[in-house]
Amino acid sequence: MSGEVFSWSQLPKPFWVLGPMEEITDAVFRRLVWELGAPHVFVTEFVRVEQVPTKGSLKKIRRLGRVPETPGVPLVAQIYGTRPAAFYELAKRLQAEGWAGIDINMGCPARQVRNSGAGSGLIKTPALAREIFWAVRAGAPQLPVSIKTRLGFERSAVEEWLGFLLELQPDALTVHARTAVQLYGGSADWNQITKVVELRNRLGISTPIIGNGDLQSVEEGVKLSQQVGCEGLMAARAVVSQPWFWSKRVVGVKERLEVAQCHLALFAEYSQGGRNPQLLKKFFLAYLSGTEWLATNREYLVKAQSLHDFLCLFSF
């Protein structure tokens, strides 16, 4: 879609999105996924609007980094906070810097975030949520503005909360099929996604619905999209252990080690500000979970401190 104006409604059905995850879906990981078999859309790690400097290029903010690039896959910036004026100003800058779209986080269940009134905390303050949405619309009138949220705060609230958001007519609405207080416990309730789709259809609104929660494979996602009627699917945690998720191929130990090598090389080349390579351990542990290689080398992996340590560990 390079050179084209991005539109959620023009994506193939069902389309796939890599879900934003803090300290996971940075530019390097997105590039790794892109090289192995990309989804239709990438979303950045979320950025708190109140913490963005009022002057200077957004390219200096690591979470809004776009290097290395992912040609052909639109990159949407996810933002969160509580001050409409700050949303407006950041939206203006995102449009000026050529982002594909803006996603407003109204679903993060982390206690620190929701207790501040941001993320899923906005479920309790719909008037503020509305003001934030229209501030982003006003700041970036040329960009699609989407929302990511949960079913409700303590209980599913399709008619109230999701109905309220649908009436705002965002360009896309991602629904994680849990409530805020559930965090990531229990199972995602995809029956509730069906209700969101039905409500959207009754309202006569064209907003694409993106289902999110516990997706473990492309096949499972396609089957669920057919069952519930959603246009899009968002995978997140499963991609951490399977960055080849969208390739739909069987990956053996040798290929997993090659993925780790590729991630390490990308990190060494593109990481900004001398980021600590130990951040990579969680990825390597996920890629190699359950393998004999990890059983043999876990101690060395856990003790690795530097890029050199990792390079030695994964050379074969």
**In sequence order, which residues have a C-beta less than 8 Å from that of residue 260 and are 6 or more positions away?**
283, 284, 287, 288, 314
Torsion angles phi and psi, residue 178, rounded to 5? -140, 165
Cα–Cα distance, 233 to 13 (Å, whole number)? 9
Would strands 15-18 and 232-235 be described as parallel, antiparallel, or unpaired?
parallel
- Position of tokens 């929302």? 147
- Kindly tell me the sign of the dihedral angle through the C-alpha atoms of 72, 79, 27, 235: negative
Identify the CA nearest to 212 among candidates 254, 237, 175, 249. 175
Cα–Cα distance, 90 to 104 (Å, whole number)? 12
| Residue type, position 98, single letter | G
Respond yes or no: is residue 108 known to be catalytic. Answer: yes
Phi-psi region of 288 (alpha: psi -120 to 50; beta: other; left: phi over 0): alpha
**Active-site residue among 108, 230, 262, 312?**
108
192 contacts 177 by C-beta, under 8 angstroms: yes
Residues noted as catalytic = 108
